Amino acid sequence: MARSSDAEFIEFVIGSHQRLVQLAYLLCGDWHRAEDAVQSAFVRMYAAWPRIRSRAAVDLYARKAVLSTVRDDARRPWRRERVSARLPEQVSQDRSGRVDERLLLVSALRMLPTRQRTAVVLRYLADLSIGDTAEVMGCSPGTVKSQTARAITALRKSFTDVGLNLQDPDATNLPTPEGTRPWH
Amino acid sequence: MALIDQLMRDAVEDGRPLSGPNLGVILARGRARRRRARFAQAGAAALTGTAVVGAVTLGQSIGPDRGGPPQTVDVASPSATPAPSSSASPGFEAAVDELVARHLDPGHDHLSRFGGGRAGSDAYVVMTFDWFDGPKMGKSTWLDAANAWYQARQDGQSVEPLRNGKINLAWADADTELGSGDRNRATGADKDCAVPPRRVLSPPLNWESCTRESLPDGTTMLEARSNADGVQTIGVTRIFADGSKISVSVSTGGDLEEPSNDSTGIPLRELPATIDQLRAILLDPEMPATPPPFEPSAYEPSAS
């Protein structure tokens, strides 16, 4: 049966809104833009809703719509992204002097080229398989693998530059800068 | 790699608290987008037809008598499928629209049909109206689904909808219950006393009172009242001899969630209608006793 009822659509919107906003946030780095992008994606989805026939297809379509909306938004002249060689300076330290890994990650993601960022976010936040990631991105699985690998390498370098090891599970025991008194 | 995915989740889960989706805006813009796509399709069909007619005309105009080369013109019908009718039975809907407005909103200042729903085949049909304190949205129509709830409002406006009140009008056969909740344990009121005014993702409504009256014409009239959660609701149901029924209810609340969380509008403070007005709707001789026949083909969604 065609997925055409508003009740189903509303149920889907409510159930998926949070994770899609989170996905959009890591893609664009801004909560406001993320919420706007997801809302626009839902509007697109509503128009296509009668033609989307399975739950799996709905999820994939939703991610595609979000990705597409974020990408379109970033292409607008006043929001055009510029890749920088340096991390933004606002990567913060808490009172113990520790670098906030979460902000570092978000900042580092923003420095990645769009396709690398998309690949790594879909793979590691959305938990998509390589095949599904390729489907959402509209590329081959091989491209997903290569883009993901490059993204990981770049992220790892960003972390290494501030003395963190992205692969190390103990990286949460961060080295504190000299002169800073740790809490414990 | 585990750290990356964990960090990503931490980054989004410890981030800004998320507000809920603005369903009113999403649905309003989605419907406008769907309508534009439908219009575009209809326009394409019209253009195709125009092109064919133009080709025929051109062929004729450049025929032998105009000095052009002799031509054989094959008149084909437009290849594009015309957009489906936007209404299953416009006569029925227009009549009911007018009837409801005559009793509740003679000046056509507040009432706007939001859409309709159909469960099963003909078992349960609902027409839903919104009551606006501010400007009304545009005209509505019945669209889309077969055998499913559906609702559509062709607003096409950029303003956010302010669905302040809710009016449902329902037809149901003898075997179909109107209510979706359990019998009210406190009052024993029948859940089937009247059609619930709220439908989607709403907690079931338990009527706080339900009175029954036998009318001289052999029909039975039920009157339902509720003030649960601060939402005033009244409903009236007319049951015919064969068990089929028509029901109408009015509420101060919207239809999506409880008023406090209702992003679709500001709940009305007072009911926009009285029990007597609702009774008058159901007793109106022009009120159809049965819903329009179900025509699945009329509800097939158009490609968009």
Of B30, B48, B83, the domain-final residue: B83
Asked whether residue B190 falls in the same domain as residue B79, the answer is: no
Of B36, B65, B83, the domain-final residue: B83
Asked whether residue B106 falls in the same domain as residue B233, the answer is: yes
Contact present, B102 and B294 (Cβ < 8 Å): no
Distance of alpha carbon B265 from alpha carbon B298, whole angstroms: 31
Asked whether residue B112 falls in the same domain as residue B257, the answer is: yes
Other beta carbons within 10 Å of B82: 14
Distance of alpha carbon B46 from alpha carbon B81, whole angstroms: 10
Residues of A in contact with B27 (CB under 8 A): 6, 9-10, 46
DSSP secondary structure letter of residue B186: T
pLDDT in tens, B12-50: 876 665 677 878 778 877 777 777 666 555 544 444 444
Q: Is the model's pTM score more than 0.90?
A: no
Asked whether residue B158 falls in the same domain as residue B228, the answer is: yes
| Mean pLDDT on A164-169 | 62
Q: Which of residues 5-64 of B touch A (CB under 8 A)?
A: 5, 7-16, 18-23, 25-27, 29-31, 33-34, 37
Is residue B224 scored above 60 in pLDDT?
yes
For the sheet with B220-226, list strands across it: B111-119, B124-131, B165-172, B245-251, B233-239, B220-226, B209-214
Nearest CB to A125; choose among B8, B146, B147:
B8
Residue B292, in any domain of the structure: no
Mean pLDDT of all residues belonging to chain B:
61
Asked whether residue B110 falls in the same domain as residue B46, the answer is: no
Domain ranges of chain A: 6-76, 101-167
Asked whether residue B119 falls in the same domain as residue B169, the answer is: yes
Confidence band for B295, pLDDT divided at 50, 70 and 90: low
User: Which chain A residue has its CA at the smallest distance from B12's CA?
Assistant: A22
Asked whether residue B41 falls in the same domain as residue B77, the answer is: yes
Q: What is the pLDDT of residue B125?
A: 65
Q: Residue B150: what are its φ and ψ, rounded to 5°?
A: -150, 155
Is residue B262 scored above 60 in pLDDT?
no
| Mean pLDDT on A92-101 | 53
Smallest Cα distance from B295 to chain A, Å: 16
Residue B288, in any domain of the structure: no
Token match 């036998």: residue? B214
Residue B274, in any domain of the structure: yes
CB of A171 less than 8 A from some CB of B: yes
CB of A145 less than 8 A from some CB of B: no
- Write out the residue range of the structural domain in which residue B223 sits: 90-283
Asked whether residue B255 falls in the same domain as residue B278, the answer is: yes
Q: Which of residues 104-123 of A touch B (CB under 8 A)?
A: 105-106, 120-121
Contact present, B167 and B250 (Cβ < 8 Å): yes
Of B36, B60, B83, the domain-final residue: B83
Q: Which CATH architecture has domain A6-76?
A: Orthogonal Bundle (1.10)
Is residue B297 scored above 50 in pLDDT?
no
CATH top-level class of A101-167: mainly alpha
Residue B276 token pair: 């007597």
Q: What is the pLDDT of residue B199?
A: 42
Is residue B5 scored above 70 in pLDDT?
yes
Q: What is the pLDDT of residue B284?
A: 92
Asked whether residue B97 falls in the same domain as residue B30, the answer is: no
Residues of A in contact with B201 (CB under 8 A): 7, 10-11, 14
Confidence band for A70, pLDDT divided at 50, 70 and 90: confident
- Containing B128, the helix (H) or strand (E) segment is strand B124-131
Smallest Cα distance from A161 to chain B, Å: 16
- Containing A158, the helix (H) or strand (E) segment is helix A141-161
| Mean pLDDT on A72-86 | 49
| Mean pLDDT on B55-61 | 37
CB contact (8 A) between residue A166 and residue B3 = yes
Asked whether residue B272 falls in the same domain as residue B147, the answer is: yes
Distance of alpha carbon B177 from alpha carbon B166, whole angstroms: 20
Residue B41, in any domain of the structure: yes
Is residue B204 scored above 60 in pLDDT?
no
Residue with the bigger pLDDT between B206 and A149: it is A149
What's the number of domains chain B is made of?
Answer: 2
The three-class DSSP label of residue A85 is coil
Nearest CB to B33; choose among A39, A43, A51:
A43
| Mean pLDDT on B122-149 | 44
Residue B270, in any domain of the structure: yes
Window from A153-157, B18-22, B222-226 with minimum mean pLDDT: B18-22
Residue B214, in any domain of the structure: yes
Is residue B108 scored above 80 in pLDDT?
no
ipTM of model: 0.71
Residue B290, in any domain of the structure: no
Residue B234, in any domain of the structure: yes
| Mean pLDDT on A144-165 | 84
Asked whether residue B141 falls in the same domain as residue B212, the answer is: yes
User: Which chain B residue has its CA at the smallest distance from A31's CA?
Assistant: B16
Contact present, B16 and A33 (Cβ < 8 Å): no
C-alpha distance from residue A78 to each of A75, A84, B233 (Å) = 8, 17, 49
| Mean pLDDT on B65-94 | 40
CA A70 to chain centroid, in Å, comes to: 10
